Amino acid sequence: MTQIKQTEHLVIGSGIAGLMLAHKLGQFGKVMLVAKQSLLETNTAYAQGGIASVLSPKDSFDKHIEDTLEAGAGLCHKDVVRLVVEHGPQLIRELIELGVDFTREPGGKAAAYHLTREGGHSERRVIHADDLTGREVLRALSDVVRRNPNIQIFEDMFAIDLLTTDKYNPQFGRNICLGAYLYDTQRREIIQVRSRATYLCTGGHGKVYLYTSNPDVATGDGLAMGWRAGCKVANLEFMQFHPTCLFSTKAKTFLISEAVRGEGAILKTAKGESFMQRYHPLESLAPRDIVARAIDAEIKQSGMPYVYLDARPIGEEKIRSHFPNIYSFCLEQGIDMTKDMLPVVPAAHYSCGGLVVDTWGRTTVHHLYAVGEVACTGLHGANRLASNSLLEALVFADRVAQKVKDERWDSIPEADVPPWVSSRITEDDELVVLNHTWDEIRRIMWNYVGIVRSEKRLQRAFDKISAIRRELQTYYWYHQIDVSLLEVRNLADVAFLTIQSAMKRKESRGIHYVIDYPHPRVDHPPVDTVIW
């Protein structure tokens, strides 16, 4: 029998967006916070660089806005950019009050906070906690939510699908989210959660690509669930490839923060010659889309599987003090970045698209909100400015909580929701098939929907992914629920949507580069790519 739980607010995801939102909702309501694995195993935990915000008297909101618009290649929503930038300092102050220990200039607690500069920024405005900013923010926020008696935390819970009235009790023109089906991965049980409002804070989908900086949990679960529930999605063709991930045969892809280049590291060819001056006036500090394509071009031209990042100009003392985590990890791989150049390659990093939301985080399904990388707010446009992502999550978590606090819902929406049915389910004895399918999806996306695309490659990817989705649809309904099955199902849906988005955009813009259309269209203003 399916277990049924009720709550006022169901927050799915425990990164910076989910924790900040749960913290704020928990000040006036009952919250159920769901983590796919442990509370701290999220993309946020791997965010090294920091949070971009105007904190220096030398900086200004207008400069930050201009840098964001420039990086976004004409597709940013200007009202959203201004909203996020102007609310940034307030949210940084809140993090400090909640106990986040950001790095200061030499001089101890009384000293000013150290600000670094990253690609595309005209000023130093990235506040950070050494090179483990995300982990420090999660530490502080998780402490806060654990202390709040209004917040129930459920770890090792996989969200399967959303409950909506369109599925069970259709109302003309009004699809309402009622909660979600969860899978308790430890007890292997299905739980039906009914809620007044549901919030997707599930992060991104970098694992849809073969090479990514993302952890294994980043399988696009919230994006796939939201789309299946009836949400609009937009701009999924804009998957940002981080230019500098450590090339290593010994470990999974490891991110080399953009702040390393911000402090003076230089990209060089396999022969040790700098090359970014041929691609952009900002050279190694150019926006990420330009740097990633430049590295891709140099790799193809040289035949080597990587280029180099030379951090030696930063100096040994600064490397050790500013980038202790990166320095120690590289040492474990046999590379001393104070003496040796780092072999680096681009890898899938961050999606600028997602579930379409308004300026209050509302999706196109009633009582369903999306915050963080899973959402498409319009801030990033066609290419994200470095360190704007954590800022966006903070600002929208604050706005969603403000909006919900003003809502007056008397009770959890009623609907005749049937119990979970598993009578046709058989035990799965071929999980190896799912592993092969997972690998196939990721290779298709890397080979055909990567840094450089063509219409022919996209059509080939579409045909292959469509066939995989048809197979998985039958597999899903007749086999025992398992994390591998749920993840590969979501990956296939996200790949399908990404390819559709890429096929619809008949131009190159920002991250999206198509050799058939090598330039942006100039015959009409750029628009978002929207899919239902």
Q: Point out the residues that are catalytic.
A: 288
Q: Classify 34 as helix, strand or coil.
A: strand
* Neighbour order of strands in the sheet with 239-246: 254-255, 239-246, 342-351, 307-310, 266-268
Q: Classify 414 as helix, strand or coil.
A: coil
Q: Classify 198 as helix, strand or coil.
A: strand
DSSP state of 220: -
The whole-angstrom separation of Cα 482 and Cα 473 is 14
The DSSP bridge partners found for residue 5 are 193
Which amino acid is residue 409, in one-letter code?
W
Q: Classify 301 as helix, strand or coil.
A: helix
Tokens 């966006």, residue? 392
CA quadruple 96, 102, 106, 108: dihedral, nearest 10: 50
The whole-angstrom separation of Cα 236 and Cα 293 is 18
- Work out whether strand 189-200 and strand 3-12 pair parallel, antiparallel, or are unpaired: parallel
Query: Cβ(295)–Cβ(314) under 8 Å?
Result: no
Tokens 């915050």, residue? 371
Q: Quick one: tokens of 188?
A: 């292997």
Q: Classify 168 as helix, strand or coil.
A: helix
The whole-angstrom separation of Cα 392 and Cα 407 is 23
Residue 480 backbone class (left: φ over 0; alpha: ψ -120 to 50; beta: rest): beta
Backbone angles phi, psi at 261, to 5 degrees: -70, -35
Q: Quick one: tokens of 415?
A: 């609907």
Which candidate, 239, 376, 248, places its Cα nearest to that of 305? 248
Query: Cβ(181)–Cβ(159) under 8 Å?
Result: yes
Q: Quick one: tokens of 31?
A: 């919250």
- Alpha helices per DSSP H over 354-413: 389-406
Q: Quick one: tokens of 151?
A: 């917040």
- Work out whether strand 177-184 and strand 189-200 pair parallel, antiparallel, or are unpaired: antiparallel
What residues contact 487, with CB distance under 8 A and at least 6 apart? 207, 219, 221, 438
- Angle at CA of residue 500, ends 497 and 505, nearest 5°: 130
Query: Cβ(325)–Cβ(130) under 8 Å?
Result: yes
